[in-house]
C-alpha cells in the first residue's frame, strides 16, 4: 500500500511570511494524483490544491503552490503571504485506486 | 452548491448500542470513502466503494463494523456493538474514479460512553 509521510508535526509562521510544508510518498505507480487538504478548527476538510502526476507543471491556486518532484516522490506546499485564517491542520493525500493521508502538519500563523 | 452530506453531525451513545452513520455523496461521483479520524491514528481509511461496489474494507474491524451502499445516493457505516474505543470523528468523502477530485462531508463526531 502507498504510504504518505509528513515529517513536520507542527510549524509556525508570522503573518505575511512564506511557509513550506513537506510531504513525501512511496509508490510504484506512475499515474496518480496528490492533494493538499486544510482542516481548520471547524473540522471541515477543505481541498486546497491538487496535482496530477503526469503534469510536470506545478499547480498553483492563488497564494498556494506546490513543488512536485516526481522522481524524488516529494510534494511540498508553499503558502505565500500567510494569513491568520491559514491556521489549521494540513494533510497531504495520495490518490490512485484509493486515497491515503499523511499524519498532518499543524500550522499556526502568528500575528 | 454540490456537497457531501453526513448525518448525524454528533452522536453520543452507550457502549453496546448500534450506531449508524449516513452519507449522501455528490451527484455524479462514483467513489465513496469512509475515514476515521483520531488524535492518535490520524485519518484512517476504513472502506471505499466504486460504482456502489465495495472495493476494500480491510481498514475496518470486521467483527463490529459494516459499510454498505444501498443506492447511488446513500452510503452507510454501521457499528454493532459500539465500544468506547470507537469514539472518533467519522468522515465520508466522494470523488471521481479518475481521482481528479475528492470532497469531504462535515463528519460525524461519535462518542461512546
Among A90, A95, A93, which Cα is nearest to A78's? A90
Contacts of B109 in chain A (CB under 8 A): 43
B104 CA: distance to closest CA in chain A (Å): 6
* For residue B97, pLDDT beyond 90: no
Mean pLDDT of the B34-51 span:
92
Residue found under cell 515529517: A7
Mean pLDDT of the B28-49 span:
92
Which DSSP string corresponds to chain A? Answer: --EEE---SEEEEETT--EEE--EEE-S-SS-EEEEEEE-TT---EEEEEEETT--SPPEETTEEEEEETTTTEEEEEE-S--GGG-EEEEEEEESSSEEE---EEEEEE-
B1 pLDDT band, cuts 50/70/90, is: low
3-state secondary structure of B69: strand
What is the pLDDT, as a whole number, of residue A91?
Answer: 97
What is the pLDDT, as a whole number, of residue B14?
Answer: 97
Closest residue to A99, CB basis, from B33, B42, B109: B33
Residue of A nearest to B92 (CA): A45
In tens, the pLDDT along A67-106 reads 999 999 999 999 999 999 999 999 999 998 889 999 999 9
Peptide bond into B8 cis (omega under 30): yes
Closest residue to A35, CB basis, from B45, B102, B107: B102
In tens, the pLDDT along B43-94 reads 999 999 999 999 988 889 889 999 999 999 999 999 999 999 999 999 999 9
CA A24, A26, A31: angle at the middle one, nearest 5?
100
For A7, phi then psi, to 5°, come to -90, 0
A15 and A79 Cβ atoms separated by less than 8 Å: no
3-state secondary structure of B5: strand
* For residue A110, pLDDT beyond 90: yes
Q: In whole angstroms, what is the distance from residue A29 CA to residue A9 CA? A: 27
Contacts of A93 in chain B (CB under 8 A): 102
Residue of A nearest to B90 (CA): A43
If you average pLDDT over every residue of chain B, what do you get?
93
Contacts of A9 in chain B (CB under 8 A): none
Mean pLDDT of the A23-27 span:
96
What is the pLDDT, as a whole number, of residue A52?
Answer: 93
Q: Pick the residue of B34, B35, B102 with the most A CBs within 10 A to test the interface with A by mutation.
A: B102
What is the pLDDT, as a whole number, of residue A2?
Answer: 79
A32 pLDDT band, cuts 50/70/90, is: very high
What is the pLDDT, as a whole number, of residue B5?
Answer: 97
C-alpha cell recorded at residue A13:
509562521
Contacts of A103 in chain B (CB under 8 A): 42
* For residue B39, pLDDT beyond 70: yes
Q: In whole angstroms, what is the distance from residue A52 CA to residue A41 CA? A: 28
Amino acid at each position: 500500500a502507498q504510504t504518505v509521510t509528513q515529517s513536520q508535526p507542527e510549524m509556525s509562521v508570522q503573518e505575511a511570511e512564506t511557509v513550506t510544508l513537506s510531504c513525501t510518498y512511496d509508490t510504484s505507480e506512475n499515474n496518480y494524483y496528490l492533494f493538499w487538504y486544510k482542516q481548520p478548527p471547524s473540522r471541515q476538510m477543505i481541498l486546497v490544491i491538487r496535482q496530477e502526476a503526469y503534469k510536470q507543471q506545478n499547480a498553483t491556486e492563488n497564494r498556494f503552490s506546490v513543488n512536485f518532484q516526481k522522481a524524488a516522490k516529494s510534494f511540498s506546499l508553499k503558502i505565500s503571504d500567510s494569513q491568520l485564517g491559514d491556521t489549521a491542520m494540513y494533510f497531504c493525500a495520495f490518490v490512485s485506486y484509493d486515497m491515503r493521508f499523511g499524519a498532518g502538519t499543524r500550522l499556526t500563523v502568528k500575528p | 452548491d454540490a456537497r457531501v452530506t453526513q448525518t448525524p453531525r454528533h452522536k453520543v451513545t452507550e457502549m453496546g448500542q448500534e450506531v449508524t452513520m449516513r452519507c449522501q455523496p455528490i451527484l455524479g461521483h462514483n467513489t465513496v470513502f469512509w475515514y476515521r479520524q483520531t488524535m492518535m491514528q490520524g485519518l484512517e481509511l476504513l472502506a471505499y466503494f466504486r460504482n456502489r461496489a465495495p472495493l476494500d474494507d480491510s481498514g475496518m474491524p470486521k467483527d463490529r463494523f459494516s459499510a454498505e451502499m444501498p443506492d447511488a445516493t446513500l452510503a452507510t457505516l454501521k457499528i454493532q456493538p459500539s465500544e468506547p474505543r470507537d469514539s472518533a470523528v467519522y468522515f465520508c468523502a466522494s470523488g471521481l474514479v479518475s481521482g481528479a477530485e475528492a470532497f469531504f462531508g462535515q463528519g460525524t463526531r461519535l462518542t461512546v460512553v
